[in-house]
Structure 1
Amino acid sequence: MANSIEISAHVDVGEISRKLSDLAKKQIPFATALALTRTAQLVKKGTLDVMRARLDRPTPITMSSVFVKPATKARLEARVWFKDSWSSGIPADRYMQPAVLGGARRHKRFEKALISRQIMKPNQYAVPAKEFLNQYGNITGGLAKKVLSGLGAAEMTSGYKANATNSRRSRRKGNADRFFVLHGLDRSSGIWERKATRWGDAIRPVFLFVDAPYYKVRIPFEKIAANIVKAHLQREFEQAMTKALATAK
């Protein structure tokens, strides 16, 4: 996904340049690079402000996913983007797509495993029940692995034999008995959990299968950047040029 904004040297340096001395003209690339970098940092701040206001309990990882690549005198272009790789997990460049671009989100690996085993239809998504969400509104990786193991779908994504079996150790974990699939005629279709209570056995939904959810754009990344660049780039250049002239040797 092209969640990247390139801020180039579109500042009015012509008139300024004609009035400057040769020494001062040498400071223009420095001032331009500084202005571009400072403007990019303002774009980052503006994007984070909108994310805080519009996202539901964003995680610290999500809030640290916006990066700035500074401009240099040799490369008069600053870049702002969502991080496109992590040491583990899905990068923000991918999971932020629905918020930035709108539309349906991609299937997660967990959902792909369910679809590959025909547990869930290709046009469906697995929505977790509120009881299984953490403080950021996400499920833990441990729950997804337990569900896939109990339903015999774990090895489709994990690369090793992680499915529940009849072994003593596997039966002790109880995932095969704990989770089951229910295909109801109403909104009860999904993955359910058997749970023992003081009043007897009970069941409750863990994931419900729903049609593809459609997301409106919540983080208009390009619009945020365009507005900030229009409002601040020229001023940042003038301030940077003043600083460059004051420090010119």
Structure 2
Amino acid sequence: MADLNDLSRQLEAIKKQIPFATARALTSVVRQIRDAQQTAMKRRLENPTPFTVNSVRAAGATKNNLVARVFVMDTAAAYLDPFESGGVHHLNGNALLNPKNVRLNKYGNLPRRKLDQLKSKPNVFIGKVNGVSGVWQRKKPPKSKGKRRQKRATNTTRKPPKMGSVKLLIRFGDALPVQPVLGYMDRANTMAKVLLPQEIQKALAEAMRTAK
């Protein structure tokens, strides 16, 4: 009878720990999925920024809330979605910015606020030149050789001063198609199916071992 009472107490202790064990298992699974998704981004995207990689987050479960999730922060999700589902590049403005003669950051992207900095320069303008829309820079006109003689005659035709050429800094274009390469959802679903039974089994075994 004493053995039966001991078993009953152990079962009751295990019962109390089941929510905690389940929360531990769920949390472990979503953290492993998060890490795998971040690794996949580094491999499948071209030189992604730390902001993009770290936008994949995991929210663990608790014994009172047995829900755990892996998610992507909203800002990154907007431009990452085409790499998962297909479509065209997400545009923050009205056009795709295609840098031509602008120094990029180490991730190959246009530095933040670079466009605003360029627009503030007096020799930079936004417009269309020879049918190409974008951000242009006026070059200084070439220096003339020697002094021009001033002609007093009113009927003499004056040549206009030489204007400097322009250089295309950033070209404006349409959003381009994106090849879906992430496989985010398939990876998450596959990992969850494989890992969850294993993690629950481990958590329950630990709960039984520590039950008093």
Q: TM-score range by the shorter chain?
A: 0.7 to 0.9
Q: State how 1:129-208 maps to structure 2 within 5 Å.
A: 129=100, 131-149=102-120, 175-185=121-131, 188-196=132-140, 201-208=164-171
Q: State how 1:101-120 maps to structure 2 within 5 Å.
A: 101-108=85-92, 111-112=93-94
Kept after mapping to 1: 8 A contact 2:101/2:168:
no
Q: Distance in 2 between matches of 1:95 and 1:210?
A: 17
* Counterpart in the other structure of 1:11: none
Cα deviation, 1:134-190, whole Å, max 9, x if unaligned, reads 1112112332113444xxxxxxxxxxxxxxxxxxxxxxxxx23223422434xx442
The amino acid that maps onto 1:24 is I
* Counterpart in the other structure of 1:21: 11
2:191 matched to 1:228?
yes
Task: Specify which structure has the bigger relative contact order, considering alpha-carbon pairs within 8 angstroms and separated by 6 or more residues.
Answer: 2
3-state SS in 1 of match to 2:84: helix
Q: Distance in 2 between matches of 1:243 and 1:199?
A: 83
Q: State how 1:34-113 maps to structure 2 within 5 Å.
A: 34-84=24-74, 91-108=75-92, 111-112=93-94
Q: Which runs of 5+ in 2 are unaligned?
A: 1-9, 145-163
The amino acid that maps onto 1:210 is G
Kept after mapping to 1: 8 A contact 2:126/2:133:
no
TM-score, with structure 1 as normaliser: 0.65
- Alpha-carbon deviation of 1:127? 1.6
The amino acid that maps onto 1:236 is E
Kept after mapping to 2: 8 A contact 1:132/1:206:
no
Q: Distance in 1 between matches of 2:72 and 2:57?
A: 6
- Alpha-carbon deviation of 1:22? 2.9
Kept after mapping to 2: 8 A contact 1:192/1:203:
yes
2:203 matched to 1:240?
yes
RMSD: 2.6
The amino acid that maps onto 2:70 is V
Cα deviation, 1:30-52, whole Å, max 9, x if unaligned, reads 11111111000111011011101
Cα deviation, 1:48-78, whole Å, max 9, x if unaligned, reads 1110101111112222211111111111110
**Sequence identity (%):** 32
TM-score, with structure 2 as normaliser: 0.75
Cα separation, partners in 2 of 1:199 and 1:245, compared to 1, 3 Å: farther
The amino acid that maps onto 1:66 is V
Aligned residues: 184
- Alpha-carbon deviation of 1:198? 9.4
Q: Distance in 1 between matches of 2:37 and 2:141?
A: 47
3-state SS in 1 of match to 2:113: helix
Kept after mapping to 1: 8 A contact 2:34/2:70:
yes
- Runs of 4+ in structure 1 over 4 Å off: 196-202
